[in-house]
Homo-oligomer: A and B are copies of this chain.
Amino acid sequence: MPYFDAASAAPLHPVARQALLAALDEGWADPARLYREGRRARLLLDAAREAAAEAVGCRPDELTFTSSGTRAVHSGISGALAGRRRVGRHLVVSAVEHSSVLHAASDHEDRGGSVARVPVDRTGAVSPRVFGEALREDTALACLQSASHEVGTEQPVAEVAGICRSAGVPLLVDAAQSLAWGPVPEGWSLLAGSAHKWGGPAGVGLLAVRKGVRFAPQGPADERESGRAPGFENLPAIVAAAASLRAVRAEADADAVRLRALVDRIRTRVPELVPDVEVVGDPERRLPHLVTFSCLYVDGETLLHELDRAGFSVSSGSSCTSSTLTPSHVLKAMGVLSEGNVRVSLPRGTTDEDVDGFLAVLPGLVAGVREKLEASAPAAPSPSPSPAPDDSLVLDTLGKRCPIPVIELAKVIGGVPVGGTVTVLSDDEAARLDIPAWCAMREQEYVGEEPADRGAAHVVRRLS
């Protein structure tokens, strides 16, 4: 039963399991104590720190273990912002950061700070120039992921780091998705990672802060982990995290070649096998194991459910799979289709057969979902009795959720002459993203969005 959601959580690496078991016996005591059990725990903690620091590319005393990647990000951002409070309270982040970064940024705004969110291109990458333009005199910190957890696109970290260095602004790199594949390019000031993303156990993150970076931990004082991660160390898990990071790194090059070939197969074959699909993310500068695509006229939640029934575990950035019914902020920032979105992220052991099996079932499942939606959607509605001229048509989809507005748009567009317009009334957040994306895919013109009493009015001109 292939599990294709390594970007959410990788199955435990065998080395992590072995190390965890060994450390349960040797590493349960308090490493701050001076008796033998404490000294043994301290030795394990020190060795784990050495190993993780080497993998990260920093000194052991620059690295602290946190209770999760999210905590590493939260503590890294709040500590760096507080450490440079005198410089100012401006924070720069990319628009496609992990939610932990964006939530920390919102929290900073709630406390009176200001935040610039740097836009990305259609591949999901920031432009170093645009990122640099967001830096100000009062910028205390900049944050950029090493690679996108949703679409796999690698960011130009080295270039952005150089620009930040010139501007005297520390750069925090969220390396959660890429640490398994190699060290982050030089130039970062702070770095965050998460063990369960590389095959380590849950409950361990890491935060590296370069010597010389001003850093003031926030919240109640605590003597553990240099005052940067309060609470008793999650020691056996830390040992397992460090051991598995070494192990996955040793295998990274070989695994990357294999998985990149499998991902290439998905990138190539899915658009051939499934009509009306958009594969998103940079085709070259990307993580080796991750690919994301979106399917027009498909309800993402239903597709995920069907894939699960067929034995494939994937995730999605479609609005219908989110508790807030908004599409993924990453797809939104990229301006790409969000409906029928599927993220495939392959764990290390994925075989050719797994991927072939996926490619074998996907077309039928997508077709099935489309058929059901087509059947349940009303027949091409007759044009509203609106006072609009003949070559335009108003389509009322208020109250209908993704992908229905786009399905209905596709049905009615033939009802206006080439050059005519369809105005789609919609209060669905996903329509704002998916109607323009549909236009780009179907070579129609997205004229723009107009205000409406409820929701928005999306104007589409028929070109073909």
Contact = CB atoms under 8 A, between A and B. Distances in A.
Contact of A34 (B99, B106, B205, B308): B308
Contact of A106 (B11, B203, B221): B221
Contacts of A20: 24
A325 to B, nearest CB: 14
Interface stretch (A160-168, A232-240, A455-463): A232-240
Number of copies of this kind of chain in the complex: 2
A232 B28 contact: no
A88 to B, nearest CB: 20
A189 interface: no
A67 interface: yes
A401 to B, nearest CB: 17
Interface in A1-50: 1, 3, 5, 8-9, 11-12, 17, 20-21, 24, 28-30, 33-38
A352 interface: no
Contacts of A3: 29, 35, 37
A196 interface: yes
B24 A100 contact: no
A393 interface: no
Interface string A43-74: 00000000000000000000000011111001
Given A1-B36, A36-B308, A202-B237, A231 B29 contact: no
A38 B462 CA distance: 43
A220 B35 contact: no
Nearest to A70: B231
A328 B358 CA distance: 62
A17 B25 CA distance: 10
A103 interface: yes
A135 B225 CA distance: 35
A323 interface: yes
Contacts of A68: 67, 230-232, 234
A141 to B, nearest CB: 14
Given A36-B308, A220-B103, A9 B24 contact: no
Contact of A202 (B99, B196, B232, B315): B232
A414 to B, nearest CB: 36
A307 B156 CA distance: 57
Given A20-B24, A36-B313, A30 B11 contact: no
A136 interface: no
B205 A231 contact: yes
A265 to B, nearest CB: 22
A107 interface: yes
Contacts of A12: 24, 28
A194 B103 contact: no
Contacts of A74: 219-220, 230
A71 B231 contact: yes
A236 B202 contact: yes
A222 interface: yes
A227 to B, nearest CB: 10
Contacts of A37: 3, 5, 313
Nearest to A315: B33
Contacts of A314: 35
A105 to B, nearest CB: 8
B107 A232 contact: no
A400 interface: no
Contacts of A34: 304-305, 308, 321
B313 A232 contact: no
A104 interface: yes
B35 A304 contact: yes
B223 A313 contact: no
Contacts of A231: 67-71, 100, 205
B28 A202 contact: yes
B232 A69 contact: yes
A104 B223 contact: no
Contacts of A323: 223
Interchain residue pairs A-B with the least CB separation, the first 4: A68-B231, A67-B67, A203-B234, A35-B313
10 contacts: A5-B33, A28-B196, A28-B202, A33-B313, A35-B304, A35-B313, A70-B230, A103-B222, A201-B236, A201-B237
